[in-house]
Chain A
Protein backbone atom coordinates (compact mmCIF):
# COMPACT_ATOMS: atom_id res chain seq x y z
CA UNK A 1 0.00 0.00 0.00
CA UNK A 2 2.75 2.44 0.96
CA UNK A 3 4.72 1.47 -2.09
CA UNK A 4 1.70 2.05 -4.31
CA UNK A 5 1.19 5.56 -2.95
CA UNK A 6 4.84 6.43 -3.17
CA UNK A 7 4.95 5.26 -6.78
CA UNK A 8 2.03 7.55 -7.62
CA UNK A 9 3.82 10.41 -5.87
CA UNK A 10 6.97 9.79 -7.92
CA UNK A 11 5.04 9.81 -11.18
CA UNK A 12 3.39 13.05 -10.11
CA UNK A 13 6.71 14.68 -9.20
CA UNK A 14 8.20 13.62 -12.49
CA UNK A 15 5.28 15.14 -14.39
CA UNK A 16 5.59 18.40 -12.44
CA UNK A 17 9.33 18.64 -13.09
CA UNK A 18 8.76 17.90 -16.74
CA UNK A 19 6.06 20.52 -17.13
CA UNK A 20 7.95 23.22 -15.24
CA UNK A 21 10.26 23.40 -18.23
CA UNK A 22 7.42 24.83 -20.27
CA UNK A 23 6.21 27.80 -18.26
CA UNK A 24 4.54 29.50 -21.17
CA UNK A 25 2.07 26.61 -21.23
CA UNK A 26 0.95 27.66 -17.77
CA UNK A 27 -0.17 31.06 -19.03
CA UNK A 28 -1.80 29.62 -22.11
CA UNK A 29 -3.71 27.18 -19.95
CA UNK A 30 -4.65 29.99 -17.57
CA UNK A 31 -6.05 32.01 -20.45
CA UNK A 32 -7.98 29.04 -21.87
CA UNK A 33 -9.41 28.15 -18.47
CA UNK A 34 -10.51 31.75 -18.03
CA UNK A 35 -12.25 31.72 -21.42
CA UNK A 36 -14.11 28.50 -20.63
CA UNK A 37 -15.13 29.72 -17.18
CA UNK A 38 -16.34 33.11 -18.33
CA UNK A 39 -18.39 31.43 -21.06
CA UNK A 40 -20.03 29.14 -18.50
CA UNK A 41 -20.77 32.04 -16.16
CA UNK A 42 -22.20 34.12 -19.02
CA UNK A 43 -24.60 31.28 -19.84
CA UNK A 44 -25.60 31.09 -16.19
CA UNK A 45 -26.29 34.83 -16.09
CA UNK A 46 -28.25 34.51 -19.32
CA UNK A 47 -30.49 31.74 -18.00
CA UNK A 48 -31.21 33.60 -14.79
CA UNK A 49 -31.97 36.82 -16.63
CA UNK A 50 -35.12 34.99 -17.79
CA UNK A 51 -36.03 33.06 -14.67
CA UNK A 52 -35.36 32.85 -10.93
CA UNK A 53 -35.27 29.12 -10.61
CA UNK A 54 -34.22 26.24 -12.84
CA UNK A 55 -35.60 22.91 -11.71
CA UNK A 56 -35.79 24.30 -8.15
CA UNK A 57 -32.18 25.58 -8.15
CA UNK A 58 -31.49 29.27 -7.82
CA UNK A 59 -28.63 31.04 -9.58
CA UNK A 60 -25.91 30.50 -6.99
CA UNK A 61 -26.94 26.96 -6.23
CA UNK A 62 -26.51 26.21 -9.91
CA UNK A 63 -23.20 28.05 -9.87
CA UNK A 64 -22.03 25.68 -7.13
CA UNK A 65 -23.09 22.75 -9.31
CA UNK A 66 -21.19 24.23 -12.23
CA UNK A 67 -18.12 24.52 -10.00
CA UNK A 68 -18.36 20.86 -9.02
CA UNK A 69 -18.78 19.91 -12.66
CA UNK A 70 -15.70 21.97 -13.59
CA UNK A 71 -13.61 20.27 -10.91
CA UNK A 72 -14.63 16.76 -11.93
CA UNK A 73 -14.14 17.33 -15.66
CA UNK A 74 -10.73 18.84 -14.90
CA UNK A 75 -9.77 15.76 -12.89
CA UNK A 76 -10.69 13.65 -15.90
CA UNK A 77 -8.36 15.74 -18.08
CA UNK A 78 -5.57 15.83 -15.49
CA UNK A 79 -5.35 12.12 -14.96
CA UNK A 80 -7.93 9.74 -16.39
CA UNK A 81 -7.97 10.77 -20.01
CA UNK A 82 -4.17 10.87 -20.53
CA UNK A 83 -3.71 7.59 -18.66
CA UNK A 84 -6.36 5.81 -20.67
CA UNK A 85 -4.98 7.21 -23.92
CA UNK A 86 -1.60 5.82 -23.00
CA UNK A 87 -3.13 2.48 -22.03
CA UNK A 88 -4.88 2.22 -25.41
CA UNK A 89 -1.65 3.09 -27.23
CA UNK A 90 0.26 0.51 -25.19
CA UNK A 91 -2.27 -2.22 -25.92
CA UNK A 92 -2.14 -1.54 -29.65
CA UNK A 93 1.63 -1.42 -29.81
CA UNK A 94 2.29 -4.30 -27.43
CA UNK A 95 4.01 -2.06 -24.87
CA UNK A 96 1.48 -3.24 -22.33
CA UNK A 97 3.80 -6.24 -21.84
CA UNK A 98 6.11 -3.98 -19.84
CA UNK A 99 3.31 -3.04 -17.47
CA UNK A 100 2.47 -6.67 -16.83
CA UNK A 101 6.06 -7.65 -16.09
CA UNK A 102 6.46 -5.06 -13.33
CA UNK A 103 5.76 -6.10 -9.74
CA UNK A 104 3.17 -3.37 -9.03
CA UNK A 105 -0.51 -4.09 -9.66
CA UNK A 106 -1.21 -3.44 -13.35
CA UNK A 107 -4.46 -1.54 -12.86
CA UNK A 108 -2.82 0.80 -10.38
CA UNK A 109 0.14 1.36 -12.72
CA UNK A 110 -1.95 2.28 -15.73
CA UNK A 111 -4.00 4.66 -13.57
CA UNK A 112 -1.11 6.80 -12.33
CA UNK A 113 1.43 7.00 -15.13
CA UNK A 114 0.33 10.28 -16.68
CA UNK A 115 -0.47 13.63 -15.09
CA UNK A 116 -1.29 16.80 -17.03
CA UNK A 117 -0.15 19.26 -14.46
CA UNK A 118 -1.36 22.53 -15.95
CA UNK A 119 -4.92 21.23 -16.18
CA UNK A 120 -4.95 21.40 -12.38
CA UNK A 121 -5.71 25.10 -12.89
CA UNK A 122 -9.27 24.09 -13.73
CA UNK A 123 -9.57 22.14 -10.50
CA UNK A 124 -8.63 25.27 -8.57
CA UNK A 125 -10.92 27.43 -10.70
CA UNK A 126 -13.85 25.06 -10.11
CA UNK A 127 -13.30 25.12 -6.35
CA UNK A 128 -13.17 28.94 -6.42
CA UNK A 129 -16.51 29.00 -8.22
CA UNK A 130 -18.00 26.74 -5.57
CA UNK A 131 -16.56 28.94 -2.80
CA UNK A 132 -17.91 32.10 -4.44
CA UNK A 133 -21.34 30.50 -4.83
CA UNK A 134 -21.45 29.42 -1.20
CA UNK A 135 -20.41 32.88 -0.09
CA UNK A 136 -23.11 34.54 -2.18
CA UNK A 137 -25.75 32.13 -0.96
CA UNK A 138 -24.89 33.33 2.54
CA UNK A 139 -25.40 29.90 4.09
CA UNK A 140 -23.36 28.97 7.12
CA UNK A 141 -21.21 26.03 6.14
CA UNK A 142 -20.27 23.89 9.11
CA UNK A 143 -16.95 22.09 9.21
CA UNK A 144 -18.86 18.83 9.06
CA UNK A 145 -20.62 19.92 5.88
CA UNK A 146 -17.37 21.01 4.25
CA UNK A 147 -15.85 17.66 5.14
CA UNK A 148 -18.84 15.82 3.72
CA UNK A 149 -18.50 17.87 0.53
CA UNK A 150 -14.88 16.76 0.24
CA UNK A 151 -15.89 13.13 0.73
CA UNK A 152 -18.69 13.24 -1.85
CA UNK A 153 -16.35 14.97 -4.31
CA UNK A 154 -13.80 12.19 -3.88
CA UNK A 155 -16.54 9.58 -4.29
CA UNK A 156 -17.58 11.40 -7.47
CA UNK A 157 -14.02 11.17 -8.76
CA UNK A 158 -13.97 7.47 -7.91
CA UNK A 159 -17.19 6.91 -9.86
CA UNK A 160 -15.93 8.74 -12.94
CA UNK A 161 -12.60 6.94 -12.73
CA UNK A 162 -14.34 3.58 -12.73
CA UNK A 163 -16.63 4.48 -15.63
CA UNK A 164 -13.83 5.92 -17.77
CA UNK A 165 -11.58 2.93 -17.09
CA UNK A 166 -14.43 0.56 -17.93
CA UNK A 167 -14.68 2.18 -21.33
CA UNK A 168 -10.91 2.02 -21.62
CA UNK A 169 -11.12 -1.76 -21.13
CA UNK A 170 -12.97 -1.98 -24.45
CA UNK A 171 -9.57 -1.33 -26.03
CA UNK A 172 -8.64 -4.92 -25.19
CA UNK A 173 -11.23 -5.98 -27.78
CA UNK A 174 -11.86 -3.15 -30.22
CA UNK A 175 -9.34 -1.07 -32.15
CA UNK A 176 -10.92 2.35 -32.43
CA UNK A 177 -12.69 3.60 -29.36
CA UNK A 178 -12.00 7.34 -29.49
CA UNK A 179 -15.54 7.96 -30.67
CA UNK A 180 -16.95 6.06 -27.71
CA UNK A 181 -15.09 8.48 -25.46
CA UNK A 182 -16.35 11.44 -27.40
CA UNK A 183 -19.91 10.18 -26.97
CA UNK A 184 -19.35 9.75 -23.24
CA UNK A 185 -17.90 13.25 -22.98
CA UNK A 186 -21.01 14.60 -24.64
CA UNK A 187 -23.30 12.68 -22.31
CA UNK A 188 -21.22 13.78 -19.33
CA UNK A 189 -21.71 17.42 -20.28
CA UNK A 190 -25.32 16.93 -19.18
CA UNK A 191 -23.88 17.08 -15.66
CA UNK A 192 -23.83 20.88 -15.96
CA UNK A 193 -27.49 20.84 -14.94
CA UNK A 194 -29.08 19.10 -11.95
CA UNK A 195 -30.14 15.65 -13.08
CA UNK A 196 -33.66 16.13 -11.76
CA UNK A 197 -34.63 18.51 -14.57
CA UNK A 198 -34.07 15.95 -17.35
CA UNK A 199 -36.83 13.74 -18.77
CA UNK A 200 -37.04 10.19 -17.44
CA UNK A 201 -35.02 8.28 -20.02
CA UNK A 202 -32.14 10.76 -19.80
CA UNK A 203 -32.23 10.56 -16.03
CA UNK A 204 -31.83 6.79 -16.29
CA UNK A 205 -28.78 7.17 -18.51
CA UNK A 206 -27.32 9.81 -16.22
CA UNK A 207 -27.89 7.69 -13.14
CA UNK A 208 -26.91 4.19 -14.22
CA UNK A 209 -24.72 4.41 -17.33
CA UNK A 210 -22.84 7.68 -17.01
CA UNK A 211 -23.65 8.34 -13.36
CA UNK A 212 -23.35 12.13 -13.41
CA UNK A 213 -26.25 12.17 -10.96
CA UNK A 214 -24.01 10.71 -8.28
CA UNK A 215 -20.73 12.22 -9.41
CA UNK A 216 -21.77 15.88 -9.81
CA UNK A 217 -25.25 16.45 -8.44
CA UNK A 218 -24.65 14.88 -5.02
CA UNK A 219 -21.59 16.99 -4.01
CA UNK A 220 -23.42 20.09 -5.25
CA UNK A 221 -26.44 19.12 -3.15
CA UNK A 222 -24.23 18.72 -0.09
CA UNK A 223 -22.63 22.15 -0.41
CA UNK A 224 -25.97 23.89 -1.06
CA UNK A 225 -27.49 22.15 1.98
CA UNK A 226 -30.24 20.30 0.20
CA UNK A 227 -29.46 16.72 1.03
CA UNK A 228 -29.85 13.98 3.62
CA UNK A 229 -27.33 11.38 4.76
CA UNK A 230 -29.02 8.53 2.87
CA UNK A 231 -28.15 9.98 -0.53
CA UNK A 232 -24.51 10.19 0.47
CA UNK A 233 -24.59 6.56 1.57
CA UNK A 234 -26.14 5.57 -1.75
CA UNK A 235 -23.40 7.52 -3.53
CA UNK A 236 -20.77 5.63 -1.56
CA UNK A 237 -22.50 2.38 -2.50
CA UNK A 238 -22.54 3.32 -6.18
CA UNK A 239 -18.86 4.25 -6.09
CA UNK A 240 -17.97 0.96 -4.44
CA UNK A 241 -20.14 -0.98 -6.90
CA UNK A 242 -18.50 0.63 -9.92
CA UNK A 243 -15.00 0.09 -8.53
CA UNK A 244 -15.70 -3.60 -7.89
CA UNK A 245 -17.24 -3.96 -11.35
CA UNK A 246 -14.14 -2.33 -12.84
CA UNK A 247 -11.88 -4.73 -10.95
CA UNK A 248 -13.80 -7.73 -12.27
CA UNK A 249 -13.89 -6.44 -15.85
CA UNK A 250 -10.20 -5.46 -15.67
CA UNK A 251 -9.13 -8.96 -14.61
CA UNK A 252 -11.25 -10.53 -17.28
CA UNK A 253 -9.82 -8.10 -19.87
CA UNK A 254 -6.27 -9.07 -18.91
CA UNK A 255 -6.99 -12.66 -19.86
CA UNK A 256 -7.90 -11.37 -23.32
CA UNK A 257 -4.57 -9.62 -23.83
CA UNK A 258 -2.20 -11.62 -25.96
CA UNK A 259 0.63 -9.15 -26.55
CA UNK A 260 0.45 -7.45 -29.91
CA UNK A 261 4.21 -7.37 -30.43
CA UNK A 262 4.85 -11.04 -29.73
Chain B
Protein backbone atom coordinates (compact mmCIF):
# COMPACT_ATOMS: atom_id res chain seq x y z
CA UNK B 1 0.00 0.00 0.00
CA UNK B 2 2.79 2.35 0.94
CA UNK B 3 4.69 1.30 -2.16
CA UNK B 4 1.63 1.98 -4.30
CA UNK B 5 1.32 5.43 -2.76
CA UNK B 6 4.93 6.30 -3.48
CA UNK B 7 4.55 5.11 -7.08
CA UNK B 8 1.56 7.42 -7.43
CA UNK B 9 3.39 10.46 -6.04
CA UNK B 10 6.46 9.83 -8.22
CA UNK B 11 4.44 9.20 -11.37
CA UNK B 12 2.22 12.21 -10.78
CA UNK B 13 5.06 14.60 -10.14
CA UNK B 14 6.98 13.41 -13.21
CA UNK B 15 3.92 13.72 -15.45
CA UNK B 16 3.12 17.13 -14.02
CA UNK B 17 6.55 18.42 -14.89
CA UNK B 18 6.36 17.00 -18.39
CA UNK B 19 3.03 18.66 -19.03
CA UNK B 20 4.03 22.01 -17.58
CA UNK B 21 6.53 22.34 -20.42
CA UNK B 22 3.89 22.77 -23.10
CA UNK B 23 2.61 26.15 -22.07
CA UNK B 24 1.19 27.43 -25.33
CA UNK B 25 -0.52 24.12 -26.03
CA UNK B 26 -2.14 24.17 -22.60
CA UNK B 27 -3.36 27.73 -23.03
CA UNK B 28 -4.94 27.06 -26.42
CA UNK B 29 -6.59 23.97 -25.01
CA UNK B 30 -8.01 25.88 -22.07
CA UNK B 31 -9.27 28.75 -24.21
CA UNK B 32 -11.11 26.28 -26.39
CA UNK B 33 -12.60 24.69 -23.32
CA UNK B 34 -13.96 28.00 -22.06
CA UNK B 35 -15.68 28.69 -25.36
CA UNK B 36 -18.08 25.76 -25.21
CA UNK B 37 -19.90 26.74 -21.99
CA UNK B 38 -19.93 30.35 -23.16
CA UNK B 39 -22.22 29.31 -26.01
CA UNK B 40 -24.57 27.49 -23.63
CA UNK B 41 -24.49 30.43 -21.24
CA UNK B 42 -25.43 32.90 -23.96
CA UNK B 43 -28.21 30.58 -25.10
CA UNK B 44 -29.80 30.01 -21.70
CA UNK B 45 -29.31 33.60 -20.52
CA UNK B 46 -31.18 34.66 -23.61
CA UNK B 47 -33.99 32.24 -22.75
CA UNK B 48 -34.03 33.46 -19.13
CA UNK B 49 -34.27 37.06 -20.33
CA UNK B 50 -37.27 36.35 -22.53
CA UNK B 51 -38.96 34.44 -19.69
CA UNK B 52 -38.80 37.40 -17.31
CA UNK B 53 -35.39 36.89 -15.76
CA UNK B 54 -35.26 33.22 -14.84
CA UNK B 55 -35.84 29.80 -16.33
CA UNK B 56 -36.68 26.75 -14.17
CA UNK B 57 -35.34 28.54 -11.10
CA UNK B 58 -32.13 29.68 -12.78
CA UNK B 59 -31.51 33.40 -12.97
CA UNK B 60 -28.87 34.80 -15.29
CA UNK B 61 -26.49 35.14 -12.31
CA UNK B 62 -26.90 31.50 -11.27
CA UNK B 63 -26.59 30.35 -14.89
CA UNK B 64 -23.35 32.31 -15.04
CA UNK B 65 -22.17 30.61 -11.86
CA UNK B 66 -23.20 27.26 -13.30
CA UNK B 67 -21.16 27.63 -16.45
CA UNK B 68 -18.11 29.09 -14.71
CA UNK B 69 -18.03 26.14 -12.31
CA UNK B 70 -18.60 24.06 -15.45
CA UNK B 71 -15.15 25.01 -16.75
CA UNK B 72 -13.47 23.60 -13.65
CA UNK B 73 -15.62 20.47 -13.46
CA UNK B 74 -15.01 19.81 -17.16
CA UNK B 75 -11.28 19.82 -16.36
CA UNK B 76 -11.83 17.11 -13.78
CA UNK B 77 -14.07 15.17 -16.12
CA UNK B 78 -11.39 13.99 -18.49
CA UNK B 79 -10.68 10.29 -18.50
CA UNK B 80 -8.94 7.74 -20.66
CA UNK B 81 -11.63 7.23 -23.27
CA UNK B 82 -12.45 3.88 -24.84
CA UNK B 83 -11.09 5.38 -28.08
CA UNK B 84 -7.71 5.79 -26.45
CA UNK B 85 -7.86 2.28 -25.08
CA UNK B 86 -8.93 0.90 -28.45
CA UNK B 87 -5.92 2.47 -30.11
CA UNK B 88 -3.69 0.87 -27.52
CA UNK B 89 -5.07 -2.59 -28.06
CA UNK B 90 -5.09 -2.29 -31.85
CA UNK B 91 -1.52 -1.12 -32.05
CA UNK B 92 -0.22 -3.55 -29.45
CA UNK B 93 0.84 -0.76 -27.10
CA UNK B 94 -0.83 -2.53 -24.22
CA UNK B 95 1.72 -5.33 -24.22
CA UNK B 96 4.68 -3.44 -22.73
CA UNK B 97 2.34 -1.94 -20.12
CA UNK B 98 1.40 -5.43 -18.98
CA UNK B 99 5.03 -6.20 -18.23
CA UNK B 100 5.30 -3.41 -15.68
CA UNK B 101 5.10 -4.33 -12.01
CA UNK B 102 1.78 -2.59 -11.36
CA UNK B 103 -1.58 -2.83 -13.10
CA UNK B 104 -1.67 -0.40 -16.09
CA UNK B 105 -4.66 1.27 -14.49
CA UNK B 106 -2.45 2.79 -11.79
CA UNK B 107 -0.06 4.39 -14.28
CA UNK B 108 -2.97 5.83 -16.23
CA UNK B 109 -4.68 7.17 -13.15
CA UNK B 110 -1.47 8.80 -11.90
CA UNK B 111 -0.97 10.34 -15.32
CA UNK B 112 -4.47 11.76 -15.42
CA UNK B 113 -4.21 13.11 -11.89
CA UNK B 114 -1.14 15.01 -13.04
CA UNK B 115 -3.11 16.40 -15.96
CA UNK B 116 -5.80 17.57 -13.57
CA UNK B 117 -3.25 19.34 -11.39
CA UNK B 118 -1.72 21.16 -14.34
CA UNK B 119 -5.16 21.94 -15.75
CA UNK B 120 -6.35 23.36 -12.45
CA UNK B 121 -3.25 25.54 -12.12
CA UNK B 122 -3.92 27.01 -15.53
CA UNK B 123 -7.61 27.30 -14.79
CA UNK B 124 -7.21 29.45 -11.65
CA UNK B 125 -6.43 32.77 -13.41
CA UNK B 126 -9.17 32.14 -15.97
CA UNK B 127 -11.70 31.20 -13.28
CA UNK B 128 -10.85 34.24 -11.17
CA UNK B 129 -11.06 36.45 -14.25
CA UNK B 130 -14.47 35.07 -15.21
CA UNK B 131 -15.83 35.51 -11.69
CA UNK B 132 -14.54 39.07 -11.55
CA UNK B 133 -15.93 39.96 -14.98
CA UNK B 134 -19.31 38.25 -14.92
CA UNK B 135 -20.47 38.52 -11.26
CA UNK B 136 -21.89 35.00 -10.97
CA UNK B 137 -23.90 33.62 -8.09
CA UNK B 138 -21.60 31.23 -6.24
CA UNK B 139 -21.64 29.95 -2.69
CA UNK B 140 -19.04 31.53 -0.37
CA UNK B 141 -19.69 29.18 2.56
CA UNK B 142 -16.39 27.40 3.45
CA UNK B 143 -18.26 24.17 4.26
CA UNK B 144 -19.96 24.17 0.85
CA UNK B 145 -16.66 24.94 -0.88
CA UNK B 146 -15.00 22.07 0.98
CA UNK B 147 -17.78 19.66 0.03
CA UNK B 148 -17.56 20.92 -3.54
CA UNK B 149 -13.84 20.05 -3.65
CA UNK B 150 -14.54 16.56 -2.30
CA UNK B 151 -17.30 15.94 -4.83
CA UNK B 152 -15.10 17.34 -7.59
CA UNK B 153 -12.36 14.80 -6.89
CA UNK B 154 -14.94 12.03 -6.50
CA UNK B 155 -16.56 12.98 -9.80
CA UNK B 156 -13.18 12.57 -11.45
CA UNK B 157 -12.44 9.22 -9.82
CA UNK B 158 -15.86 7.75 -10.46
CA UNK B 159 -15.95 8.77 -14.11
CA UNK B 160 -12.39 7.64 -14.65
CA UNK B 161 -13.13 4.11 -13.42
CA UNK B 162 -16.46 3.99 -15.25
CA UNK B 163 -15.06 5.06 -18.61
CA UNK B 164 -12.02 2.82 -18.16
CA UNK B 165 -14.35 -0.12 -17.56
CA UNK B 166 -16.27 0.82 -20.70
CA UNK B 167 -13.02 0.59 -22.63
CA UNK B 168 -12.75 -3.09 -21.70
CA UNK B 169 -15.29 -3.77 -24.47
CA UNK B 170 -12.33 -3.46 -26.81
CA UNK B 171 -11.06 -6.86 -25.67
CA UNK B 172 -14.08 -8.45 -27.32
CA UNK B 173 -14.46 -6.29 -30.43
CA UNK B 174 -12.58 -3.31 -31.84
CA UNK B 175 -15.34 -1.71 -33.90
CA UNK B 176 -17.59 -0.26 -31.27
CA UNK B 177 -16.90 3.45 -31.69
CA UNK B 178 -20.54 4.10 -32.60
CA UNK B 179 -21.68 2.61 -29.30
CA UNK B 180 -19.22 4.74 -27.35
CA UNK B 181 -20.45 7.79 -29.25
CA UNK B 182 -23.99 6.95 -28.27
CA UNK B 183 -22.90 6.64 -24.65
CA UNK B 184 -21.17 10.01 -24.73
CA UNK B 185 -24.11 11.66 -26.50
CA UNK B 186 -26.47 10.50 -23.76
CA UNK B 187 -23.94 11.60 -21.18
CA UNK B 188 -23.70 15.06 -22.74
CA UNK B 189 -27.43 15.61 -22.41
CA UNK B 190 -28.10 13.98 -19.04
CA UNK B 191 -24.92 14.91 -17.16
CA UNK B 192 -25.61 18.62 -16.98
CA UNK B 193 -22.85 19.48 -19.42
CA UNK B 194 -25.27 20.89 -21.93
CA UNK B 195 -28.00 22.16 -19.64
CA UNK B 196 -28.59 22.26 -15.90
CA UNK B 197 -30.61 19.24 -14.87
CA UNK B 198 -33.56 21.39 -13.77
CA UNK B 199 -34.11 22.45 -17.37
CA UNK B 200 -34.70 18.90 -18.57
CA UNK B 201 -38.24 17.48 -18.78
CA UNK B 202 -39.33 15.67 -15.59
CA UNK B 203 -38.90 12.14 -16.91
CA UNK B 204 -35.35 12.96 -18.09
CA UNK B 205 -34.53 14.40 -14.66
CA UNK B 206 -35.69 11.20 -13.01
CA UNK B 207 -33.59 9.21 -15.47
CA UNK B 208 -30.55 11.40 -14.80
CA UNK B 209 -30.81 10.66 -11.09
CA UNK B 210 -30.55 6.90 -11.51
CA UNK B 211 -27.84 6.98 -14.18
CA UNK B 212 -24.23 7.83 -13.30
CA UNK B 213 -23.75 10.81 -15.63
CA UNK B 214 -25.24 13.53 -13.47
CA UNK B 215 -23.15 12.52 -10.49
CA UNK B 216 -19.91 13.09 -12.33
CA UNK B 217 -20.79 16.51 -13.74
CA UNK B 218 -23.88 18.44 -12.74
CA UNK B 219 -23.81 17.46 -9.09
CA UNK B 220 -20.60 19.28 -8.02
CA UNK B 221 -21.69 22.34 -9.98
CA UNK B 222 -25.07 22.41 -8.24
CA UNK B 223 -23.25 22.27 -4.90
CA UNK B 224 -21.10 25.33 -5.55
CA UNK B 225 -23.93 27.47 -6.90
CA UNK B 226 -25.88 26.73 -3.74
CA UNK B 227 -28.76 24.75 -5.22
CA UNK B 228 -28.49 21.79 -2.84
CA UNK B 229 -29.16 21.34 0.88
CA UNK B 230 -26.57 19.75 3.15
CA UNK B 231 -28.40 16.43 3.26
CA UNK B 232 -28.74 16.41 -0.52
CA UNK B 233 -25.00 17.04 -0.83
CA UNK B 234 -24.08 14.23 1.57
CA UNK B 235 -26.46 11.80 -0.15
CA UNK B 236 -24.96 12.75 -3.49
CA UNK B 237 -21.42 12.17 -2.28
CA UNK B 238 -22.54 8.74 -1.08
CA UNK B 239 -24.01 8.01 -4.52
CA UNK B 240 -20.74 9.09 -6.15
CA UNK B 241 -18.81 6.67 -3.92
CA UNK B 242 -21.27 3.88 -4.69
CA UNK B 243 -20.95 4.38 -8.46
CA UNK B 244 -17.16 4.52 -8.18
CA UNK B 245 -16.96 1.32 -6.14
CA UNK B 246 -19.51 -0.48 -8.31
CA UNK B 247 -17.62 0.49 -11.45
CA UNK B 248 -14.33 -0.65 -9.88
CA UNK B 249 -15.77 -4.11 -9.12
CA UNK B 250 -17.20 -4.49 -12.63
CA UNK B 251 -13.92 -3.22 -14.08
CA UNK B 252 -11.88 -5.78 -12.14
CA UNK B 253 -14.10 -8.57 -13.39
CA UNK B 254 -14.07 -7.34 -17.01
CA UNK B 255 -10.32 -6.92 -16.95
CA UNK B 256 -9.67 -10.43 -15.68
CA UNK B 257 -11.87 -12.07 -18.28
CA UNK B 258 -10.91 -9.66 -21.06
CA UNK B 259 -7.15 -9.86 -20.67
CA UNK B 260 -7.30 -13.58 -21.43
CA UNK B 261 -8.65 -12.74 -24.85
CA UNK B 262 -5.99 -10.13 -25.57
CA UNK B 263 -3.81 -11.42 -28.37
CA UNK B 264 -1.15 -8.67 -28.45
CA UNK B 265 -1.61 -7.41 -31.99
CA UNK B 266 1.48 -5.82 -33.44
CA UNK B 267 3.85 -7.15 -30.83
Listed in ascending order, the chain A residues whose CB lies under 8 Å from chain B are 24, 28, 31-32, 35-36, 38-39, 42-43, 46-47, 49-55, 176, 179-180, 182-183, 185-187, 189-190, 192-193, 197-199, 202
Within the complex, the shortest CB–CB distance from B43 to chain A, in Å, comes to: 6
Contact with A along B48-62 (1 / 0, CB 8 A): 001100011000000
Interface flag for B46 (CB, 8 Å): yes
Chain B residues whose C-beta falls within 8 Å of the C-beta of A199 in the assembled complex: 42
Chain A residues whose C-beta falls within 8 Å of the C-beta of B25 in the assembled complex: 176, 179
**Would you call B47 and A54 a contact (CB within 8 A)?**
yes
Interface flag for B195 (CB, 8 Å): yes
The DSSP consensus for interface residues of chain A is helix
**Would you call A50 and B51 a contact (CB within 8 A)?**
yes
Within the complex, the shortest CB–CB distance from A43 to chain B, in Å, comes to: 6
User: Which one, B71-79, B156-164, B178-186, B235-243, is touching chain A?
Assistant: B178-186
**Would you call B36 and A35 a contact (CB within 8 A)?**
no
Within the complex, the shortest CB–CB distance from A216 to chain B, in Å, comes to: 13
Q: In whole angstroms, what is the CA distance A202 to B51 when docked?
A: 23
Contact with A along B1-38 (1 / 0, CB 8 A): 00000000000000000000000110011011101101
**Would you call A180 and B50 a contact (CB within 8 A)?**
no
**Would you call B38 and A180 a contact (CB within 8 A)?**
no
Name B39's contact: one of A36, A50, A53, A189 (CB within 8 Å).
A189
Chain B residues whose C-beta falls within 8 Å of the C-beta of A53 in the assembled complex: 50
Q: Which residue of chain A lies nearest to B32 when distances are taken between CB atoms in the complex?
A: A186
Chain A residues whose C-beta falls within 8 Å of the C-beta of B232 in the assembled complex: none
Q: In whole angstroms, what is the CA distance A189 to B36 when docked?
A: 8
Within the complex, the shortest CB–CB distance from A21 to chain B, in Å, comes to: 16
Q: In whole angstroms, what is the CA distance A36 to B194 when docked?
A: 14
**Would you call A50 and B185 a contact (CB within 8 A)?**
no
Within the complex, the shortest CB–CB distance from B37 to chain A, in Å, comes to: 11
The DSSP consensus for interface residues of chain B is helix
What are 16 of the A-B contact pairs (CB < 8 Å)? A32-B178, A38-B185, A39-B189, A42-B189, A43-B189, A46-B195, A46-B199, A46-B201, A55-B46, A179-B28, A182-B29, A183-B29, A183-B31, A186-B32, A189-B39, A193-B42
Name A51's contact: one of B39, B51, B182, B201 (CB within 8 Å).
B51
Most buried by B among A36, A46, A52, A176: A46
Q: In whole angstroms, what is the CA distance A192 to B42 when docked?
A: 12
A-facing residues in B183-222 (Cβ within 8 Å) = 185, 188-189, 194-195, 199-201
Q: Which residue of chain B lies nearest to A190 when distances are taken between CB atoms in the complex?
A: B39
Q: Which residue of chain A lies nearest to B29 when distances are taken between CB atoms in the complex?
A: A179
Within the complex, the shortest CB–CB distance from B144 to chain A, in Å, comes to: 28
**Would you call A182 and B35 a contact (CB within 8 A)?**
no
- A179-B32, A186-B36 known; 5 other A-B pairs, CB under 8 Å? A43-B195, A50-B199, A179-B24, A186-B31, A187-B32
Within the complex, the shortest CB–CB distance from B39 to chain A, in Å, comes to: 5
**Would you call A32 and B42 a contact (CB within 8 A)?**
no
**Would you call B43 and A54 a contact (CB within 8 A)?**
yes
Interface flag for B175 (CB, 8 Å): yes
Interface flag for B177 (CB, 8 Å): yes
**Would you call A180 and B199 a contact (CB within 8 A)?**
no
Name B181's contact: one of A24, A35, A179 (CB within 8 Å).
A35
Within the complex, the shortest CB–CB distance from A181 to chain B, in Å, comes to: 9
Chain B residues whose C-beta falls within 8 Å of the C-beta of A35 in the assembled complex: 178, 181-182, 185
Chain A residues whose C-beta falls within 8 Å of the C-beta of B182 in the assembled complex: 35
**Would you call A28 and B175 a contact (CB within 8 A)?**
yes
Given the interface contacts A47-B43, A50-B56, A55-B46, does A32 sit within 8 Å of B35 by beta carbon? Answer: no
